[in-house]
Each structure stands twice: as C-alpha cells, then as structure tokens.
Chain A
C-alpha cells in the first residue's frame, strides 16, 4: 500500500532518475549561461538530436553502448558548427537577438529531424543494457533507471574534478567570475567559452541518447524538456555546477512527489516552486555572481 517504505523508496529513486536527466541537460545550459551570458533556447533540440542520432547509431551498429558514445560526439560537432556560424557572432548582439535566433533554431532543428528521421516516434528494443529489473524492499525497479542515476552522479563528480582541480577548470571559473579581469590576467577566456559550450552540447546529446531507450525519440521531445531545464537553471542559479545539481534534485523531486501526492496540481507545482525561490532568492540558490 501507499503507506509502506518500499513504495516511498521507489518514488525517491524515480525522483533521482528524473533529477539526473535534468542535471545532464541543465548543467551545460547553466554554465554556458553563466560564462557566456548567453541563453541557448535550442539546447533542448540538441537533446532531441542526441536521441535520434543515438537511435540511428544503435540501429546501424546493433550496439546501444556505441550509441551512448557516438551521440554526444556528434552533437558536440553540431554544437561546434553552431558556435562558429552563429553563437560567436551573437555574443555581443544582446539578449533579445540571442533569444530570437536560438528560438528560431528550435524550428530549424525540428524540421531537420523531421526531414532526416520522419514524423513517427522511434526507439530501440534490442540490445538495451540494464534492461532487467532489480528488487528493492520487495518492489520491482527497472535497472536502467538505476543506470541513469549512477551516470548522472558520475558526470557530476567528473565535472566537479574538472572544474575544481584542473587548470582548465580554474580558467573557466575565473571567466565566470569576472571575464574582464580574467582576460587581463592572460587567460584565454574565448577558449574556455568554446570548451564549455562544446561540453554542454555533448552532455545534452548524452542525455538524449540515454533517455531514448526508456522514453523513445519523438519530434517534440526537445521542446517539452526545455521548460523544466530552464526552470532548473533559474532555480539553481546561473553558472554553477552545484546550482545545477541542487536545482535538478529540487525540481526532479518536486515533479515526482507532486505527481504522486497532488496529481491535480502536478502541472503547476514546478512553477510554484520557481516563484517561491525567485521571491526568496532572486538570483537562484547557488549563483556564481550575486
């Protein structure tokens, strides 16, 4: 029954899984936002591209693992093209132009996906790793979801090490803190920008590829994930890894438990949380600059 511990434990796992997917998406967006002062509304489209490219790789090679490796790289390459064609030029164009251009990109990507993969939803059914189930406290839980949870935390740890304990990480942090001063100190802020942008794209591609076996690849998936991702970025605070993680956990948990406890309000509960956080801390929970 609803009263037993196993049930709530499963829901905690569900919220962790949701959170980790949101984290993979929002961490790139957040750091790009913080570092470049750039809103990339097409970030969700990169997630969708990751799923569709992952599908094609898995179909062609028969290996879903290869899809997990190839999709982030392919999406990163698309990100590089975007960066040199558009993003780099838009850097000084002001937020309104950036929003308009990246909003337009959503439709470009939507049509590109429709042209290349057609209009029907796609998914892989064969060779998915961790397709079994595990039993926890007498409750059955899909092993694949545990895999997503572990993957999310692993990415967090790797990013943490990269940002806190490497020279590149220090340069990125310096760039987020104060780009002007960092430049004066001889740091190549432009290179950090590019690096962060590409990493963010790769993580969005990874999220898409990993989500595809469980959720399928659909035309609208990039658009529907965009809003929760933006909410995570705003709640967590711009530009911080910790903010992205805490924001994801908060939104993932709120969404999951909101759905279970007050299903009638599940659609708005995320926004209610957003309003509360913005009232109490207008620049998010863990902003790099306040």
Chain B
C-alpha cells in the first residue's frame, strides 16, 4: 500500500519532470490534532478557527494541489493524543499533523511521529525540550517555546530598575520553564529573587493566600505565569487584594491573553506582560487577519488563533515550495519564512523552533475596555539549541 503510493508519487514526479511543466495535482492530507473537548477545548477552537482562516487566505497559492483535513480530538490527554496520532498516520495516511496544545500530548506523540516520519507542526505546546534536548527533524514549532517570551521580560524588568522580584506559577513543567527563563536574564542583570511559589495545578483557584504571602516578602514586583481560567482568577484576586497599588504585576503574556483580557476588565489595568502576539500590532498582515477573524467569529483573534493561522500558511508555503512533490514537502516545511500577523517569522535551522518578535505590552483599562499598548518590541527572539542536534 505504502510502496504503491510512493511508486505512484515517483511516477507522477517523473512524468512532471519529463514534461517540464508544473507537477501534477496532489492531495495533501493534514491531520488536525487538537483538544476539542476537556479544559483546553477553548484553545483547540481558537487554533482551528485560525487554521481554517489561514487556508482561506492562502489556499489560492496551492495551484492544482489540494489540502484536505481530518480532525481528531486529543481531549488534552497524552494516551488519547497518541492513539489519535496513530489513527491519523496509519489509517488516514496524513502527510502532516498540525496542532497539539498540551506539552504532555506532544511528549507522547513525538517518538511515534519521528518513527513514522510524519512531520508534526506544533501550533501551541511550548515545552522547551521539544526543540531542545528532545528535538527532532519531524517536530516543527510555529507557536512559541516557554523560554522565548520570558527571557525578554527578565531584561525588561531589570532595565526598569526593578531589583527584587517574587515569582509565582503553576506547579508543572511549563510553569517551571517559564520562571527559569525569566530568572536567567533577570539574575544576569543583577536582579534578586526574594521568593518563588509553585501553586497546585489543579484545585480551587484561590490565590488569595499565595498573594498575601508574596506581598509579605516586600518585593518590588511580582512576576507570574498563569493561563486560562487560572489567569482570570489570579488577575481578579490580585486586583481585589489591592496589592497592585503597591507591588506591580508582570508576567508571561498568557496572564492577560487577548482571548480573555476583557473578562478581567479593570483588574488587568496596569499589568505589563511579554507575548509573541498582541492584537494591536499595526501591520497590513495583522489588520487583514483581525478583520477577517472578527467578521467570522465576532471576537478578537487571540495568539492561539494566530498560531493556527500561521501553521496553515506554513503548510501552504511548503506545498508551494515543493511544487507538489510530497517527498520534498517534509524538508520544505522547516525552510518557510514569511511576515504574518505577529511580524517576521522563520524557523531556526538548528532546532526547528520558531524565531519571532516578542511584544512587551501594558494593559490599560479605559471606558469599559482594556487596550493592550505595546511598550517594546524585542526582534527575532531565538532559543539556544540547548542540546539539540538535528
């Protein structure tokens, strides 16, 4: 079966080469592997919306080639994710897998994808190791790494003259990786960490006790990573306790993600964060994306939607570059670069991780709405290989 299809491919490619014209039309099957149920369903929906919009905007460049999608729900569970990845590759015979929100799911899928030689285009999961010590030619990340947005924030706080910082994050790999990256640059510039707490990942979302304890160490600022419902609860509670008037709050940008900053409302006022995307970026690409996204879904396109959008563009560009030759498609993926809604984007040849701008922006609440104002753009943020050799 596999052999037969490869032979057909080769024959088609040969025929095309002999004819000297463009390659014959190919059907590219893409498996969308995302959480459509469970607690990460929101992110799954944003990424899928973005991906579909990306195909709509750039699909015209496919020529005679076509892209068909197969959706599978990971439920954000590693075992389910791996089973669905197997199904996509062995039964649906997809040419690439796009998606994966949870780093745990990516960890479970990685070895299988490498063994099957099917590229995985990561549209969220940020675990540093997947483009570091456990990198693979078949893992291509267009979203972000956990370290990427936090290193510039360490510099930013130190440059602002902030000396003593208290750290807080949920107690799992991403929480620790984000804080380690912040510490790396902040300590290097002479900053001091006066305390750090890793809160239980699951449970009551009551951060009152932690916030009171953090404030009691008398820091100049508090730096945190929280995302989703936890981020909303944290920001609201930080505001309710009145700590913000004395100790400013900073964090990785998911703390006040465009996806839910309006729910935080006034509580988000004055919080400065770093993220790989902010809806207020003033470029034609971003305007085109936001206008279309808002027209289709009635809300601001989030960083997650942009990750899906750029993943779709990556697929289209790689198909275009390989001229419909599926053998070349895998190698072309990592060579793609373009200016997207978040600015210039390319892939690091050393790690297959995305190289992109990090935007440091402040949330300002006025007239019942939160505005996200960019204070600084740190261009082309690139991770060190960290033990990766491709």
Contacts and interface: CB of A to CB of B under 8 A. Distances in A.
Given A145-B240, A224-B203, A125 B208 contact: no
Main secondary structure of the interface of A (DSSP, over half): helix
B240 A260 contact: no
Contacts of A215: 205-206, 229, 232-233, 236
Interface residues of B, number: 45
Interface of A: 1-2, 7, 10-11, 14-15, 17-18, 21, 110-111, 114, 118-123, 125-126, 131, 133, 139-142, 144-145, 214-216, 218-221, 223-225, 227-228, 255-257, 259-260, 263-264, 266-267
A264 B198 contact: yes
Contacts of B233: 214-216
Interface in B133-158: none
Given A11-B209, A260-B210, A219 B242 contact: no
Nearest to B370: A125
Contacts of A139: 212
A270 to B, nearest CB: 8
A259 B236 contact: no
A271 B59 CA distance: 53
Nearest to B299: A120
Count chain B CB atoms within 10 A of each CB in A139, A224, A228 and give the residue with the most: A224
Interface stretch (B38-46, B317-325, B336-344): B38-46
Most buried by A among B200, B205, B209, B260: B209
Nearest to A225: B204
A121 B212 contact: no
Nearest to B218: A1
25 contacts: A17-B208, A114-B41, A119-B44, A120-B42, A121-B228, A123-B263, A125-B263, A125-B265, A125-B266, A131-B240, A140-B241, A140-B242, A141-B241, A145-B240, A214-B236, A215-B232, A215-B236, A218-B39, A219-B229, A221-B205, A224-B205, A255-B204, A260-B212, A263-B199, A267-B200
Of all A-B residue pairs in the complex, the 5 with the closest CB atoms, nearest first, are A125-B265, A218-B229, A142-B240, A119-B42, A140-B242
B259 A120 contact: yes
A123 B228 CA distance: 12
B263 A263 contact: no
B41 A263 contact: no
B216 interface: yes
A118 to B, nearest CB: 8
Given A114-B37, A219-B42, A219-B229, 18 more contacts: A17-B206, A110-B37, A119-B45, A122-B263, A123-B232, A123-B236, A123-B264, A141-B241, A142-B241, A214-B237, A215-B206, A216-B229, A220-B229, A223-B39, A228-B203, A259-B213, A264-B198, A267-B201
B209 A259 contact: yes
Among B208, B236, B263, B299: residue with most chain A CB under 10 A:
B208
B160 interface: no
Nearest to B212: A10
Interface in B206-225: 206, 208-210, 212-213, 216-218
Nearest to A18: B206
